[in-house]
Amino acid sequence: MIDPEQAHEAIVEATGPACAQINAFAKKVLNTRGGRIGSGMGALLEALWGYYVNNALRDSAGQARQCELAWMYAHEYNDFACIVRDQKWDPTTREGELLRLEAKSMVASADESKAHFDQIVQKLNQQDILVVLVWDWVPVDDVRVCPQILDHFVGPALPIAEFRDALHIARGGTFVTPGKCPDGCAAGSCSHVGEPLNEQGKRERRTGPESRRVSQQVSYASNFGGMVRMLKTNSDAARKIFRESRRRNDTVDAYVSFIHKNFPNEEMNQYSASEWKRLAGRYDIDGTGLSKDDLAKKVRETAPEYRTQLRDF
Ligand SMILES: [Zn+2]
């Protein structure tokens, strides 16, 4: 019988070919004049990812065939569950489930991604998976465009959530702890434990304590878990946590590398001018008189594998 680790592997393997199939489909069917950001296209791509991966699992000649993706229904947080094929599935008890997945999409050319990974750690399981699709509108001919998935990430969700939380705390944020809810809930009946509050003490999610609304008009802040924003650091302490976590944890490194590859300005900003200089030095690049921007450009041209070095910083 397939286990969660093998199911994870099967989903990773199926994702590359699934994205290629989605792109072929999008070229044929989803091509259009115009093509705007915020069109709901991201949600469609996430759904297509689920269907195409599911088909790949079904058509697999190996062990992958023993599992399939199911849509979560009701008010469950996750998008999909990976379940044992043709067996009884009960999402309430998780009978028949191998793991759960959340799929997020990000537009490569958007200034700030709207995608959020803000599930609180208490609700994530060790096996849960985070899928991120980076896409953009790409020309089909002289006048028409279609959405294309440019890159994807599939990995364990929990280490990324823990990294996100460590940086949240480094930024001055907190989490609601048992018995200390700002709403004054009784310890046993508080639904806010684990909810993030930002450095101003305001709630970051709609489900956070009502007494910590941002204002009369704005219900919650929603910076927490921004796919790019969560990696930002604004102090030496935060930068230290960023570097230590990246060095220590393969998943954190893979996620950081994925975001930095697709949003190179984030990488440029994360590392200081002296760090870029140090990195350039490792490749015998003469950085004299070069701006941080030019230095980063030069490193990227000279040594495409430079992120393995950055991980050690
Ligand atoms: Zn409460």
Average pLDDT, the chain: 94
Instruction: Give the DSSP per-residue string, 27-92.
Output: HHHS-BSS--TTSSHHHHHHHHHHHHHHHHHHH-SSGGGGEEEEE--TT-S-SEEEEETTS--BTT
What is the spatial distance between Cα 150 and Cα 9, in angstroms, rounded to a whole number? 21
Per-residue pLDDT band at 76 (split at 50, 70, 90): low
Give percent above pLDDT 90 in the chain.
88
Ligand 1 centroid distance, CA of 8 (Å): 35
Ligand 1 centroid distance, CA of 227 (Å): 27
Query: Cβ distance 57 to 10 under 8 Å?
Result: yes
Ligand 1 centroid distance, CA of 213 (Å): 13
Nearest CA to 67 among 22, 100, 97, 101?
Answer: 97
| pTM, two decimal places | 0.94
Per-residue pLDDT band at 77 (split at 50, 70, 90): low
Give percent above pLDDT 70 in the chain.
97
Reported as a single tens digit per residue, the pLDDT across 171-191 is 999 999 999 999 999 878 999
Beta-carbon neighbour count of residue 145 at 10 Å?
Answer: 18
- pLDDT attached to residue 34: 85
- 72 Cβ partners below 8 Å, 6+ apart? 78, 79, 80, 81, 91, 100
Per-residue pLDDT band at 114 (split at 50, 70, 90): confident
Nearest CA to 287 among 106, 278, 10?
Answer: 278
Ligand 1 centroid distance, CA of 169 (Å): 20
